[in-house]
Amino acid sequence: MRVQAPFGRRRVTVTAARDVGPYRVLEAADPDGPQPWPGQFYMLAGAEHWGGGEDERPFLPRAFSFLDAGEGTLSFMLEDVGPGTARLCELQAGDELWLLGPLGIGFTAPEPGPPARRALLAGGGVGVPPLAAWARELAARGLAAEAVLGFRDADHAAGARLLTAAAVSVATDDGSVGHHGLVTDLLAAALDDDPHATVYACGPPAMLEAVRRMCAARAVPAQLALEAGMACGFGACYGCVVPVRDGGYVRLCVDGPVLDADRIEAVPAH
């Protein structure tokens, strides 16, 4: 499902910025934007001091799935992992952002069946936002969803608080909270318990690839929210391509970022 974006980027104001564990949640007023669909994304850039940092970066905007969207408001969850995210994580209420979107194609609801399939959300780290938005949409439609989320440690697991579902299980790499191990352990257990599910996943490439393999082996339909470096977000630069099973490449920005798992041979490493 794609909601089309107004043409041109919009200068919007940050209304709140808060830390959730090591993550940053930015809220912005977007009075002129449409209500986006879960899994869609926006291109963000700071209105000030974008460029001119170390090595004269950042230069290009950065792509982020939205976490929540209300009446004329949007929120995003970020992690400071480079010059663009570092700048965005510095923003405070009252600062301004350039924003373009919503862009791309988001998630599709489970086939009504029979057999009825529940939504099983599998996320890792900064992969939480599109799943949190999707959980909210599913709940609004009266559809059951459960979530399995993986993080590095208890500190990062604070990100799980941003997702509300009927059941949320957490795994950490260091065992400091929840299951000591991989999120795919939790996913396997959930599918063992009841295989009638559609899996929705977002997270680091290695985790997504593990999810893809598991779902393929069990013939469970899966939708993967993928990520790739992109310059534009609207099909112009041809930078964000991933190889697909039927040959050639698709641009994640216009044909994704959510792809049916069976469209790809493997989730590309970044």
Partner 1 sequence: MIEFCGLRLAHPIVNGSGTFDAIAARRAFGDALLDAFPFSAFVSKTITLRPRAGNPPPRLWEAPAGLINSIGLPNRGLHGYLEHDLPELAALPVPLITNVMGSTEAEVAELVEAVGARPEIAAIELNVSCPNVKTGLDIGADPGSLAALVRAVRPLTRTPLIVKLTPNTADVAAVAVAAEREGADAVSLVNTLRAIALAPRTRAPWLGGGTGGLSGPAIRAVALAQVAAVVRHVSIPVVGMGGVTRVEHAQDLLSTGATLVAVGTETFRDPAVASCIASALKSLQNPETPSTSVKASEPQVEVDVNSPD
Q: Which 136-165 positions form the footprint of partner 1 (CB under 8 A)?
A: none
- Inter-residue contact 124 to 183 (CB < 8 Å): yes
Contacts of 246 (CB under 8 A, 6+ apart): 263
Q: Which 248-267 positions form the footprint of partner 1 (CB under 8 A)?
A: 248-249, 251, 253-254
Pick the closer one to partner 1 by CB: 98 or 108: 98
Pick the closer one to partner 1 by CB: 55 or 192: 55
Across the chain, which distance is largest between two alpha carbons, in Å?
Answer: 56
Q: Which 187-246 positions form the footprint of partner 1 (CB under 8 A)?
A: 228-239, 241-243
Contacts of 183 (CB under 8 A, 6+ apart): 122, 123, 124, 148, 149, 150, 171, 203, 207
Instruction: Give the 3-state secondary structure of 136-147.
Output: HHHHHCCCCEEE
Among 28, 63, 100, 259, the residue binding partner 1 under the rule CB under 8 A is 100
Q: Which 41-60 positions form the footprint of partner 1 (CB under 8 A)?
A: 45, 51, 55-60
Pick the closer one to partner 1 by CB: 205 or 221: 205
Q: How many residues does the structure list for the chain?
A: 270
CB of 225 to partner 1, least distance (A): 17
Q: Does 114 bind partner 1 (CB under 8 A)?
A: no
CB of 239 to partner 1, least distance (A): 4
Look at residues 121, 86, 99 and name the one whose alpha carbon lies nearest to residue 224: 121
Pick the closer one to partner 1 by CB: 70 or 249: 249
Among 25, 44, 67, 103, the residue binding partner 1 under the rule CB under 8 A is 103
CB of 165 to partner 1, least distance (A): 30
Q: Which letter, b or e, does each residue of 97-134 get, where b requires 16 or more Cβ atoms within 10 Å of its Cβ?
A: bbbbbbbbbbbeebeeeeeebbbbbbbbbbbbbbbbbb
Q: How many CB atoms lie within 10 A of CB 220?
A: 19
Look at residues 61, 101, 76 and name the one whose alpha carbon lies nearest to residue 234: 101
CB of 268 to partner 1, least distance (A): 7
Kindly list the residues in this chain that would bind partner 1 in the complex (CB under 8 A): 2, 4-9, 45, 51, 55-61, 98, 100, 103, 228-239, 241-243, 247-249, 251, 253-254, 268
